[in-house]
Amino acid sequence: MLSTTAEYALRMMIALAEAEGRPLTSEQLSRRTDVSPDYAVKILQQLGRAKFVRAQRGRGGGFRLACDPAKTTLLDLVRVIDPLDRINRCPLGRVEHEGRLCALHASIDRAIEVLHEQLHSYTLADLLEDERGTMCATDEESVQVSIERTGNGAVPRSN
């Protein structure tokens, strides 16, 4: 019942929360969350319009959280991407279902209600503090480059 796009948004928000204020580029977020780079940018734009992330251009730029992880619920984030509306009247428009949903739609509505309750009960901070550990790698493998001078010029070496 949760769209793939909403899950991708949650993955990226968790990755940003794990970064603890360090900016992450859309490429870094894409790698850490297994979301295609172009799609990651689209989702980050939606989250930016909703004021959950902030973008900074230029050298040292990237995306950062613009919200408090302790106060931002998963439901807050999902609503930006996929509103998950409750069913409050017959989607088929049947007169005999006015005032009361049929068994099918009442069951679906209850499932949506439970999902709302669960998503509202967790904040980003809750997920970071979970004993199961982090979802994304917080540090990418660094590569150190040194220049070694030889008789034919400089040769870069990495470890």
* Count of CA atoms in the C-beta half-sphere (13 A) of 74: 19
List Cα–Cα distances, 17 to 25, 92, 107, 132, 152, in angstroms: 14, 42, 35, 16, 47
Instruction: Give the position of tokens 């900074």.
Output: 56
Supply the pLDDT for residue 143: 35
Name 61's Cβ contacts closer than 8 Å, sequence gap at least 6.
Answer: 23, 25, 55
Supply the pLDDT for residue 67: 96
Supply the pLDDT for residue 60: 77
**Residue-by-residue pLDDT tens, the chain, 159 positions:** 789 999 999 999 999 999 988 999 999 999 999 999 999 999 999 999 999 999 988 887 899 999 999 999 999 999 999 988 888 888 888 887 778 888 898 999 999 999 999 999 999 999 888 766 666 644 444 333 344 545 555 554 544
Please say whether the beta carbons of 13 and 47 come within 8 A: yes
Fold annotation for 4-158: Arc Repressor Mutant, subunit A (1.10.10)
The Cα–Cα gap between 90 and 150 comes to 78
Angle 132-116-86 from CA coordinates, rounded to 5°: 155
Supply the pLDDT for residue 20: 87
Angle 84-1-81 from CA coordinates, rounded to 5°: 45
Check residue 88 and report its DSSP letter.
-
For the record, the structure tokens of 78 come out as 């999902």
Write down the pTM of the prediction.
0.78
Supply the pLDDT for residue 103: 87
